[in-house]
């Protein structure tokens, strides 16, 4: 499980826009050197709904997906725009980078500054920020110079830039870094939970994992430590359980801190659709909430279920010092391959479609 990885795309959105908690992203590792591949989108039957034609692509959110086309110098200066679910280009490729829509706005990079567009492609908040996260709960975290603050959807700075780091608001609170420590602010900018932690995650199901003196525990929204820091690593709660690491192995606890599934796995992801992907001796399978292996470990890599399907890899090899996973496809909750393992790279399903990449010969 990736440690402290900030997902660019989440379960979905709550984790995607802000979470430092472990989260899978796009699947597939490109081989050394340039591999010419094109991205399209498949539906849950495996039919190619949007033909592979894009240099890069991201999942659908709020009916639109960010896609990239080669620029003047090819993929080096690719430009991003947005398509709808039929593949029509709704917002022409023009941005250096682009993030998913949230709260009807998307943060985009134009030149070296970030602003926000609406779904018609109109720049409603001009590009004047050094970075900009997706809107969540009506506010967007933005970076001005070396500090982070928050704006409203009119572009007004409602919480001044005074934080060293800042994540999006989730469940009414946002994780911020001040003076080398992490805490939480409310929507007025007031420090609701004192900055005292070495690391924090966003809140999920009423709890957030925090790191104190190299150990992970969980706090509630009042800042009370409800599960004492005793784990070597941890993830956010999902469907009532959270992944925790003791020593080199991962297991799962409930909201009282009781170990429900003993630490025994090399890597894990969160529960979704009552199943969680786990790695055993280099292969991934899926367990239920009792810890029973319901889909036997046979995949070189695997992700959590989204929209009823999970992304899995069919092949792993080495390219130099890197591990390369290819032949991606999708399984249902019985472990049956429902979309052939044939893609070079792939995203999880979101809003009924998944981005997939094929190698262009």
For 6, counting Cβ atoms within 10 Å of its Cβ (0-12 exposed, 13-18 middle, 19+ buried), the class is middle
DSSP string, 11-39: SHHHHHTT--S----SB--PPSS---EEE
Query: 3-class SS at 16?
Result: helix
Task: Give the Cα separation of 318 and 130 in Å (integer).
Answer: 37
Domain ranges across the chain: 12-359
Task: Give the Cα separation of 40 and 51 in Å (integer).
Answer: 5
pLDDT < 70 positions in the chain: 1-35, 71-76, 319-321
Task: Give the Cα separation of 189 and 168 in Å (integer).
Answer: 12
Enumerate the H helices of the chain as residue ranges: 12-16
Report the topology of domain 12-359. Answer: Methanol Dehydrogenase; Chain A (2.140.10)
DSSP state of 3: S
pTM of the shown model: 0.89
Task: Give the Cα separation of 10 and 181 in Å (integer).
Answer: 25
CA neighbor of 208 nearest in space, from 192, 19, 200, 24: 200
CB 90 within 8 A of CB 121: yes
CA neighbor of 279 nearest in space, from 237, 318, 316, 334: 316
Q: Six-digit token pair at 321?
A: 């010092």
Q: How many beta carbons lie within 10 A of that of residue 88, not counting itself? A: 9
Q: What is the pLDDT of residue 318?
A: 73
Q: How confident is the model over 254-303, as pLDDT tens digits? A: 999 999 999 999 999 999 999 999 999 999 999 999 999 999 999 999 99
Q: What is the pLDDT of residue 70?
A: 86
Q: What is the pLDDT of residue 16?
A: 33
Q: How confident is the model over 222-245, as pLDDT tens digits? A: 999 999 999 999 999 999 999 999
Element (H, E) at 193: strand 191-197
Using DSSP bridges, classify how beta strands 113-117 and 106-110 pair: parallel, antiparallel or unpaired: antiparallel
CA neighbor of 81 nearest in space, from 104, 56, 103, 63: 56
């Amino acid at each position: 499980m990736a440690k402290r990885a900030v997902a660019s795309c989440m379960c979905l959105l709550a984790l995607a826009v802000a979470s430092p908690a472990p989260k899978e992203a796009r699947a597939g590792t490109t081989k050394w050197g340039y591999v010419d591949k094109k991205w399209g989108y498949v539906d849950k039957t495996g039919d190619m709904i949007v033909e592979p034609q894009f240099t890069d692509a991201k999942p659908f959110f709020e009916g639109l997906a960010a896609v990239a086309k080669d620029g003047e110098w090819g993929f080096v200066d690719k430009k991003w725009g947005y398509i709808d679910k039929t593949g029509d280009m709704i917002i022409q490729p023009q941005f250096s980078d682009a993030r998913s829509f949230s709260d009807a706005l998307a943060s985009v990079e134009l030149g070296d500054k970030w602003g926000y567009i609406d779904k018609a492609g109109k720049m409603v908040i001009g590009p004047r920020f050094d970075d900009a996260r997706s809107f969540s709960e009506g506010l967007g975290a933005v970076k001005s110079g070396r500090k982070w603050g928050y704006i409203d959807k009119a572009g007004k700075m409602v919480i001044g830039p005074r934080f060293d780091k800042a994540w999006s608001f989730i469940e009414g609170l946002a994780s911020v870094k001040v003076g080398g420590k992490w805490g939480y602010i409310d929507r007025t900018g007031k420090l609701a939970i004192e900055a005292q932690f070495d690391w924090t995650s966003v809140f999920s199901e009423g709890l957030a994992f925090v790191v104190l003196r190299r150990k992970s525990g969980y706090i509630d929204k009042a800042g009370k430590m409800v599960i004492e820091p005793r784990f070597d690593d941890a993830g956010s709660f999902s469907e009532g359980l959270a992944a925790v690491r003791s020593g080199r192995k991962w297991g799962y606890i409930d909201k009282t801190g009781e170990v429900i599934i003993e630490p025994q796995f090399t890597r894990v992801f969160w529960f979704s659709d009552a199943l969680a992907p786990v790695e055993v001796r280099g292969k991934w399978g899926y367990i239920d909430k009792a810890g029973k292996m319901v889909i036997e470990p046979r995949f070189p890599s695997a992700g959590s279920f989204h929209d009823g399907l999970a992304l899995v890899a069919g092949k792993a090899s080495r390219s130099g010092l890197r591990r390369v996973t290819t032949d991606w496809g999708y399984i249902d909750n019985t472990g049956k391959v429902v979309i052939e393992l044939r893609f070079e790279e792939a995203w999880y399903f979101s809003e009924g479609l998944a981005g997939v990449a094929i190698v262009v010969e």
